[in-house]
């Protein structure tokens, strides 16, 4: 069983994982179980599985591609940074961080995005047994809940982890009530692990961090202004 909880990311990384899932299906049944989010690249990975489940409120779909770059020229001017870039070739500096795209570069980027999008939709259509045009109508970056995804044929059924385990057993040739030992990795930490003298302990993480920063972090989560916090702070001088 493949558990996915990802909003997506790199098209290349997603395609590599999709190929790995497809190879796995040649040896064994692969059941994809979507967590709270399995969209864009998260859906890309799931669509290679034999059977896809999602929770009713899972955020999925988002079959689409976008690309671009940040132009930091104005920032460099403000902070007094002078850059000199030497290139060879018409598109050598296409993703350079100073200046926008030229007309030729913009056309090149658009062609790349269109190619990746076509590949994404083609694989999604094949995985779900749809015609390309039908999948394209559901794609274009549109986001769906699990219920909507099931209705539109993007997933097979609604269900959480327990249902996914049951489906996996059936696809593997076992009865649904067959009992198996479930091994959770990584294992839940003990109190000794939490307060012990290892580099990931709470006591070690707190050393050197300003108490005010920790309080601010907790308030950010309490006010629902953040979904996650990085395990480090950034400061600019």
Whole-number Å distance between alpha carbons of 194 and 201:
5
**Which residues neighbour 153 within 8 Å (Cβ) at sequence distance 6 or greater?**
128, 129, 130, 138
CA-based max dimension of the chain = 69
With H, G, I as helix, E, B as strand and everything else as coil, classify residue 148: helix
The pTM of the full predicted model, rounded to 2 decimals, is 0.73
pLDDT average per 10 residues of sequence, the chain (237 residues): 93 96 96 96 96 96 93 92 87 89 93 96 96 97 96 97 93 89 74 54 48 60 58 64
Q: What does the pLDDT read at residue 200?
A: 45
| Length reported for the chain | 237
Q: What does the pLDDT read at residue 99?
A: 87
Catalytically active residues are: 40
Q: What does the pLDDT read at residue 233?
A: 65
């Amino acid at each position: 069983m493949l558990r996915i909880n990802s909003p997506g990311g790199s098209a290349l990384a997603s395609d590599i994982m999709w190929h790995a899932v497809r190879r796995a299906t040649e040896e064994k049944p692969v059941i994809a179980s979507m967590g709270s989010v399995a969209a864009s690249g998260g859906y890309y990975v799931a669509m290679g599985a034999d059977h896809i489940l999602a929770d009713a409120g899972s955020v999925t779909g988002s079959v689409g591609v976008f690309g671009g770059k940040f132009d930091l020229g104005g920032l460099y001017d403000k902070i007094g940074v002078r850059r000199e870039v030497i290139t060879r070739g018409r598109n050598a500096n296409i993703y350079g961080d100073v200046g926008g795209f030229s007309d030729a570069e913009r056309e090149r980027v658009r062609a790349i995005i269109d190619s990746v999008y076509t590949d994404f939709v083609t694989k999604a259509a094949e995985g779900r047994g749809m015609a390309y045009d039908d999948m394209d109508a559901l794609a274009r970056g549109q986001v769906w809940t699990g219920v909507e995804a099931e209705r539109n044929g993007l997933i097979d059924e609604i269900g959480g982890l327990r249902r996914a385990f049951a489906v996996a057993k059936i696809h593997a040739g076992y009865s649904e009530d067959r009992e198996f030992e479930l091994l959770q990795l990584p294992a839940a930490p003990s109190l000794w692990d939490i307060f012990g003298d290892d580099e990931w302990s709470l006591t070690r993480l707190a050393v050197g961090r300003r108490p005010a920063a920790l309080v601010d972090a907790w308030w950010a989560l309490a006010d629902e202004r953040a979904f996650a916090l990085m395990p480090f702070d950034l400061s600019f001088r």
